[in-house]
Structure 1
């Protein structure tokens, strides 16, 4: 049976990562309500009969209905980060009873294991019964611990042929089938398996095809072939012929299509004798329509670029008794399918918004076979995995970091070290600041920490903001306790008791729990308790009694040892430091990178105390990434709509790049000076070293806009790097000594080793002969530069004439594309826009001679692959060609060269004109 259950998913609605849902048909009226006051997914499924004896007394229909409710809710929680199922005992008794053998077996079937405690814990206070559900995490199968389906499913709805039977594929079989089929389509596994099997049955198939071509046959005739893997015999029966045929079509067509094709003969018994169907018992036109509709509605999922449905042919063969027409033999010839054919959508559910939804076949396959990307060898040399998905919860995304940067383990030990010392408060600077600002806070915190001897208490001015949620006014701070022999506890400290404080704490704790599992990849049993504390002496303990979750979680939800504590803190590192990687667009799925410790320290800056800030960052230190992260933080700290945050840069390509993120309004400096921005409260300026005064004083205008709200100025952060100055005109920036307060980003994380070495050489040349508009105080910053080693790359410098240069670029691009790169990885940069316009047609014409489009769909070069150094400032590519770098202002030649070279992640080509 299929059921649909809706629940009011409050107080928090988790992200579904873009997966759409299909709701099954309602077959009975049931509402699954989420309990409103818990920081976890707690689904109430109503009354269920429990206890083996009690369940045996039920009618089968009711027993199956209750089992389906339990199964669907459990599957949804397994696939959505875990949670709790609450039910009431329908048998009206408070004594403890067992769940019931059929219910226990349904849970074992879901996880494909007899070890229920691996995923479930049970409790039954009074008449309530709780099932505590841990997130699905690629539970290993006994036969092969390396093979793990990505999600939990009651049924795959995939079929295959085995000998003379059509068999449903369980999760393991479906996972293996899909992986092999995908590998074959992508050319990573030898094809021809189905051909070899077909050869073994070639004679039977040839004989079946001869029968398929007949127009008539004799009743009782024995067909000259038996049932086999590619031939199935079914009888019509005498009643409800259309319903019967419609019921068998999905599994047999799916089985044949997924197993090399075959014939379904309807009207033949299992001894190969033709019986047919009496003509008076069947309406052929109606039967044809039923079969066509049944096959056309079968879900199909493609790994290849084509999108055909199931290919089949039907044949109605007249069956005679002597010279009289007796009836009909119906034959369906199913062609082998390139990818996968389902009998229906899989039986697999997830929580999405306010509903429990069944996944479509397409989304189910996407989750079963991904989204772990296969990095190209060149990328694999540059990045290392921080979070492999092979054993992780279903909604996790892959996490990578550039080789040479801190691993999540190193970041955890740096930010949240676990020691044998007494309970530690961190960050110490924030704790000192908070305790000095709020009288009584230290006493309040110490009082509530007395039961905990070891662990770490992590303070934040708003854990909600850290989790990309809105901050609540009136919250002094939040503190997350991670300690042994205790579940994680999130404390929200209020100045005064107020309505909404508990809801805020609960929503934040819920978001944290979901992110620890679904983003951080934590695979243990975990909950986050939510507790509100109040500084006001009028606020008594009694008025906050409801602050702690009323669900008494089992002891297994407490952190047991140092290893569990560190694993949870490493998941927390991914939650706090993760950001969407630029690799996502290249790989076709969402991938996360991690901030460095230096970047995270900047991100943790108190915006209310640093409303204006100058951020000086060396080339490749992540200024644009930090600009985008800060805008997200502004939105949450100030409850700010995106239309009230303005991003300003000098160049259109960078503006377009940021505009696509939909986190702010984005304009160029020229547009900023031309238009009125009456709705803007906060401004972020990027690549400010290249701004000019030609259209007016942009700094004065930006400062005026952000300070027009009396008593509550907006944010004005300015990111710049004087080493990449590309002109000699006045920039409009305040003098270096007036750029206060300021922060520095000195860790260069972008470029491969050889390119980084070249950048150091250019920076040395700039130090020795700086342009007049580069502040002398700024030169010292280069001595603090930290270059992250460990990534192979190359730099090529050649002197060529123009014709040789054009041919060389085309040949190299052709080579790179044939070795796995995409045109999106490549940019050709000229010194000026006028030079680009002068030569671009010649370069594009030569590139297109190589017929790149025959390599793959993303190998066609367009105008987007050509730009000028100045316009491309702030962006990056794996491969950069610099065409005859030069400037009319000799004093900034090295700066231009530095800006050009720093755009390249892996391969840099500097091609100079020889004449």
Structure 2
């Protein structure tokens, strides 16, 4: 590779890791000393740039061909080592870099960056790795570049001053103005100076003297001023004098023959306008400066010009250029813009309001994790990643274990020779765990490959992780498939699961055929010989890697992401994961019964994503059907399927649909036709290749007395149950338990009696504090005042209007009471100017239309069913919508 532009630095294909080859490089200290400096610097910078990109993107390998004539073992060279130390800001190169030489091939193994403390250095590192921040500040009479740690402190201080943390609010900030009492301002006001005149002040914190270059003056100014503009703007403002001898303070200017006044001003203006700026405030002003060209006379004869740039203090951050920091993006090494760089540097765990913090426990914090990770939380009371790992992927003390046992048994019975093949491959390993899957591709949210019998991931002591792909027969693309899945898995373990150790995944594709029980594909031998430090040394390392795997497999985008404005992951429960892991080829029809708050809608979304990958189908082939429009809109906005209500489903022609997911099916009715038979006909019509029909329901939340159209309970087979109530805070969950008991004692006639026995299997997940208030005998005016005042109080405590919903018994009540709430909030807004809260349309709804959704705060207004037989069911549906605070208000 002769070109040095960033687009020429690309990942090499056919490796289960990020491998970047950079062509010929001279290595060894003595050899590099003999090189031409320009070439030596070019090679060093190329290696440093790639190392930075790999550090920031999950790690990888830099591969180069030694330009040296001999192939004796050699070192990189002191200049390269020095540059890499500057990159990680530590002397401990082995913490992130290891090297290997094989003949003329020289490889640098790069571990993922993480911002935890070094083993020999207790200080905390920056969030991402950078060679230079390109942020400058003044110190005394000097300009200095902030290193990554100093830049982080500078950015954090500015953000805190402007009010971004901890509440994450952005304030409008007026730009600061440089104090005109500065002595330099007197000179700035002048229009004429004498050549050789001594300025009456020295260089200082806010004053810098520079001389004009003797050649290429405009190019000199363009290259020189960015760091001074950045430094003054980021400090307290200042004056840059161009044309003054800094040692003697003499005015020298620049001869008029060598510079054009207007051209010089234009160059300065263009240069400053291109400086990257990053704002923490909402006003977003540009860099404020003034340029003055002062005439210089020599013995009363016009000689030339002195140029002064007056720079005002900047509200946020001004860069001299984009930071020297890189990342791997779409297989290319790309530089980060200043805005991207600040975003990653400032990336931190979300600042929950105190009330929300109590509900969740961190499973992966950004404080000690790789740069691309997102924070992961588990609901209090649920299994942590350590418990999930022990339950799903426990490492036996003295032997190698195959898991899950049921899948192993099924696969071995279906495929003759498979057990023999796997046993043969496992002979070198004595301790660890082999995790079988019908498709690790699907497990990683990728498309399944039909030729694959199964995949198996080996996590064993004294070995790197190995991914085996077992193919039905010889396939030229088999090794490429295995390599690609290993590549994705390796990066997900780091960038999603947060694994901070040295890690690789070896890819090995095998063929199972009738002629040979075990035949290894050509090219299956790994082409990278990793250092021994990439082997898993003990149980602690194996379990740490498996806990990262738990996050990869059980993580899903939390509903908190929308509330907090940043990506947050939650973990499935083991109960949910066991259902999600089912073989869709064998479970094309399934009824999932789940209690209120057990995560049925989350499961429905996850299953639809899996359907797309298992059956290679587009979103338009998957249909989600529910009873109410708000839930339909919520799912439709996720972009994972087509979504309609039951009424629309019964009116439309859905012949293009292959797979159907039904949610909240207990509230379906047959008034528009037999929806179940229609769904079954669409999905099960092709006997050779039926589609998926999964139905999620909870009879306890039935909100009508008509026929639901569901088959009888005994005919709802196969069937799975979600019994853990994971949504609601403790007092709300206990209240739900009591209401479920009431439903069980006085059930509507359209609820199967056998289903009511599920009540005994309900498991509440304790540990989340919350609030439940039931207020009786309110008049209408007091009820409205209570809701408005309580909302204002909750908003002052950090909640947002998106966290609140007011639910009425009937849809007609929404319009009936809406004006009263709006009137009350407007009245309070007038009396209390700072309170801008007002009820939005999506904050008012009926219980039935809100079914399947949830909010942190729910107000239930006079919950009374038209049919007394379903009063408890309606109350249950109302209360189960509340995650944290539930207020039930009954009118007189």
Structure 2 contact 366–374 (Cα < 8 Å) conserved: yes
Instruction: Output the CA distance in 1 between the equivalents of 2:509 and 2:228.
Output: 58
Instruction: Output the CA distance in 2 between the equivalents of 1:227 and 1:452.
Output: 70
Structure 1 contact 111–139 (Cα < 8 Å) conserved: no
Indicate the residue corresponding to 2:171 in structure 1. Answer: none
Indicate the residue corresponding to 2:60 in structure 1. Answer: 83
Indicate the residue corresponding to 2:346 in structure 1. Answer: 369
In the TM superposition, 1:271-282 aligns within 5 A as 271-282=248-259
Q: Against the structure 1 CA distance between its residues 105 and 745, is the aligned structure 2 distance closer, same or farther, given a 3 Å change threshold?
A: same
Matched, 1:892 2:852: no
Deviation, structure 1 residue 95: 1.8
Matched, 1:238 2:239: no
Report Cα offsets for 1:7-64 as digits up to 9, x if no partner: xxxxxxxxxxxxxxxxxxxxxxxx4453322111111111111112221121111111
Instruction: Output the CA distance in 1 between the equivalents of 2:762 and 2:889.
Output: 28
Matched, 1:182 2:152: no
1:140 aligned counterpart, secondary structure = coil
Indicate the residue corresponding to 1:903 in structure 2. Answer: 881
Structure 1 contact 631–645 (Cα < 8 Å) conserved: yes
Instruction: Output the CA distance in 1 between the equivalents of 2:539 and 2:126.
Output: 29
Instruction: Output the CA distance in 2 between the equivalents of 1:417 and 1:259.
Output: 55
Instruction: Output the CA distance in 2 between the equivalents of 1:151 and 1:133.
Output: 14
Q: Against the structure 1 CA distance between its residues 850 and 339, is the aligned structure 2 distance closer, same or farther, given a 3 Å change threshold?
A: farther
Indicate the residue corresponding to 2:268 in structure 1. Answer: 291
Instruction: Output the CA distance in 1 between the equivalents of 2:835 and 2:10.
Output: 49
Q: Against the structure 1 CA distance between its residues 65 and 383, is the aligned structure 2 distance closer, same or farther, given a 3 Å change threshold?
A: same
1:875 aligned counterpart, secondary structure = coil
Indicate the residue corresponding to 1:699 in structure 2. Answer: 676
Structure 2 contact 166–351 (Cα < 8 Å) conserved: no
Indicate the residue corresponding to 2:825 in structure 1. Answer: 847
Indicate the residue corresponding to 2:239 in structure 1. Answer: 263
Instruction: Output the CA distance in 1 between the equivalents of 2:60 and 2:182.
Output: 56
Deviation, structure 1 residue 212: 2.1
In the TM superposition, 1:765-780 aligns within 5 A as 765-780=742-757
Which of the residues 203, 206, 229 maps onto 2:182? 206
Which of the residues 454, 457, 464 maps onto 1:487? 464
Which of the residues 635, 640, 643 maps onto 2:612? 635
Deviation, structure 1 residue 536: 1.1
Structure 1 contact 148–390 (Cα < 8 Å) conserved: no
Q: Against the structure 1 CA distance between its residues 754 and 313, is the aligned structure 2 distance closer, same or farther, given a 3 Å change threshold?
A: same
Instruction: Output the CA distance in 2 between the equivalents of 1:447 and 1:541.
Output: 9
In the TM superposition, 1:349-498 aligns within 5 A as 349-498=326-475
Instruction: Output the CA distance in 2 between the equivalents of 1:456 and 1:890.
Output: 56
In the TM superposition, 1:448-597 aligns within 5 A as 448-539=425-516, 544-597=521-574
The more displaced of 448-457 and 90-99 is: 90-99
Gaps of 5+ in 2: 168-175
Report Cα offsets for 1:64-96 as digits up to 9, x if no partner: 111122111111111111111111011243221
Report Cα offsets for 1:279-301 as digits up to 9, x if no partner: 33221111111111111111111
Q: Against the structure 1 CA distance between its residues 689 and 541, is the aligned structure 2 distance closer, same or farther, given a 3 Å change threshold?
A: closer
- The TM-score normalised by the length of structure 1 is 0.93
Deviation, structure 1 residue 139: 5.4
Instruction: Output the CA distance in 2 between the equivalents of 1:667 and 1:900.
Output: 23
Matched, 1:646 2:632: no
Q: Against the structure 1 CA distance between its residues 439 and 619, is the aligned structure 2 distance closer, same or farther, given a 3 Å change threshold?
A: same
Matched, 1:863 2:841: yes
Deviation, structure 1 residue 841: 2.2
Which of the residues 744, 761, 764 maps onto 2:721? 744
The more displaced of 550-559 and 807-816 is: 807-816
Structure 1 contact 180–189 (Cα < 8 Å) conserved: no
- The TM-score normalised by the length of structure 2 is 0.96
Indicate the residue corresponding to 2:172 in structure 1. Answer: none
Structure 1 contact 223–274 (Cα < 8 Å) conserved: yes
Report Cα offsets for 1:413-462 as digits up to 9, x if no partner: 11111231311111111111111222221111111111111100111111
Matched, 1:684 2:684: no
Report Cα offsets for 1:619-643 as digits up to 9, x if no partner: 0000000000000110111111111
Which of the residues 589, 593, 611 maps onto 2:588? 611
Gaps of 5+ in 1: 7-30, 191-197
Indicate the residue corresponding to 1:224 in structure 2. Answer: 200
Instruction: Output the CA distance in 2 between the equivalents of 1:737 and 1:493.
Output: 39
Indicate the residue corresponding to 1:253 in structure 2. Answer: 229
2:592 aligned counterpart, secondary structure = strand
Instruction: Output the CA distance in 1 between the equivalents of 2:69 and 2:632.
Output: 65
Structure 1 contact 875–903 (Cα < 8 Å) conserved: yes
Indicate the residue corresponding to 2:170 in structure 1. Answer: none
Deviation, structure 1 residue 803: 1.3
1:533 aligned counterpart, secondary structure = strand
1:55 aligned counterpart, secondary structure = helix
Indicate the residue corresponding to 2:701 in structure 1. Answer: 724
Structure 2 contact 418–517 (Cα < 8 Å) conserved: no
Report Cα offsets for 1:536-565 as digits up to 9, x if no partner: 143587752411312111100000011101
Report Cα offsets for 1:719-772 as digits up to 9, x if no partner: 001111111121111111111111000001011111111111111111111111
Instruction: Output the CA distance in 2 between the equivalents of 1:74 and 1:542.
Output: 38
Indicate the residue corresponding to 1:22 in structure 2. Answer: none
Indicate the residue corresponding to 2:139 in structure 1. Answer: 162
Indicate the residue corresponding to 1:808 in structure 2. Answer: 786
In the TM superposition, 1:29-40 aligns within 5 A as 31-40=8-17
Indicate the residue corresponding to 1:17 in structure 2. Answer: none
Instruction: Output the CA distance in 1 between the equivalents of 2:142 and 2:488.
Output: 47
Structure 1 contact 371–397 (Cα < 8 Å) conserved: no
Q: Against the structure 1 CA distance between its residues 96 and 850, is the aligned structure 2 distance closer, same or farther, given a 3 Å change threshold?
A: farther
Structure 1 contact 371–589 (Cα < 8 Å) conserved: no
Instruction: Output the CA distance in 1 between the equivalents of 2:335 and 2:166.
Output: 32
Instruction: Output the CA distance in 2 between the equivalents of 1:551 and 1:501.
Output: 19
